[in-house]
Amino acid sequence: MSNLEHWQSAALPDTRTLNGRFIRLEKLNAARHADGLWAALEGPGADPKLWDYLAVGPFTERSAFDDYLAGLEASTDPWFYTVVDQETGVLDGFLSLMSIVPSQGRVEIGHVTFGASMQRTPKSTEAVYLLAQESFALGNRRLEWKCNADNARSMRAAERFGFSFEGTFRQHMVVKGKNRNTAWFSILDSEWPERQRAFAAWLAVDNFADGKQLKTLEQIRIATV
C-alpha cells in the first residue's frame, strides 16, 4: 500500500486561460461567449446528435440557452471553460472540470459539448489535453471520464485519449426519462507522464501534413511505452 503521509490536497481550478497550439480554454463568461456558443452549438450546420447523451438540450429558444449559460458561469463545480480557436477567435464549444474533490486529489473532465466545427479535429484532442494537464498540475492523483455506456462516441474518445476503463455502474441515473448505465474511466498521476508525452507528440507540427495526422494518438502512445 502506498504511503501518502505527506500528500497534500490538490488546488482548485481558477480563472486562468489555458493556452494550446490550436485552441485556448477561457473561463466561461455568459455575456461574452453566448453569441459564439449559440452559433457553434445551435446554428446552421450544428451536430444533430450533440445533445443526445447530455442532461439538457437541444435548445430551440435563445433565452433558455442564455439562462443555461448563466448557470454554467456561476457554477464552481462543474467549473466551465469555453473553447476558443487560437487563430480565428471563433468559439467551438465548452467543457468542464467537475466532481472536484481536492482533499482526495480527484477530478473529472465532463460536460464535453463540442460543436461540429471541432469534432474529429486536433482542437478536440487539445481541449482534453489542456484540461488533463491542468488537472495534474493542480496536484490531483486521479482524473476521471464518465459517460453513458450507450454513447459510443464518448466511449471511443476515452479510450483514444488513454483513459483506462474501470467498469459500468448499472442503472446509475435517469436522464431525460431514460435509464443511464455509466461507464467509468480514469488516468492516474503515475500514468500521466507517458500520456502527456503521447499527447504532445501527436499535437506537434511534424505529426501533420496537409492538415491530416501522420500517426494516431494510440500509435504514438504504444511507441512511447
Place of cell 499535437: 203
pLDDT at position 1 is: 60
pLDDT at 120 (0 to 100): 79
The stretches in the chain having pLDDT less than 70 are: 1, 225
Task: Identify the pLDDT of residue 225.
Answer: 64
Ranges of H-type helices in 6-121: 30-42, 62-74
Residue whose C-alpha cell reads 490536497 in the numeric block:
9
| pLDDT, tens only, 42-69 | 999 999 999 999 999 999 999 999 999 9
How high is the pLDDT of residue 4?
A: 82
> Is the CB of residue 125 less than 8 Å from the CB of residue 202?
yes
Residue 78 three-state SS:
coil
Cell of 167: 467498469
Set of cell numbers at residue 147 = 459517460
The pLDDT tens digits of the residues spanning 108-121 come to 999 999 999 898 78
C-alpha 17/C-alpha 74 separation (Å) is: 17
Delineate the domains of the chain, giving CATH numbers in brackets.
18-224 (3.40.630.30)
The 10 Å Cβ neighbour count of residue 165 is: 13
Query: What pLDDT is recorded for position 89?
Result: 97
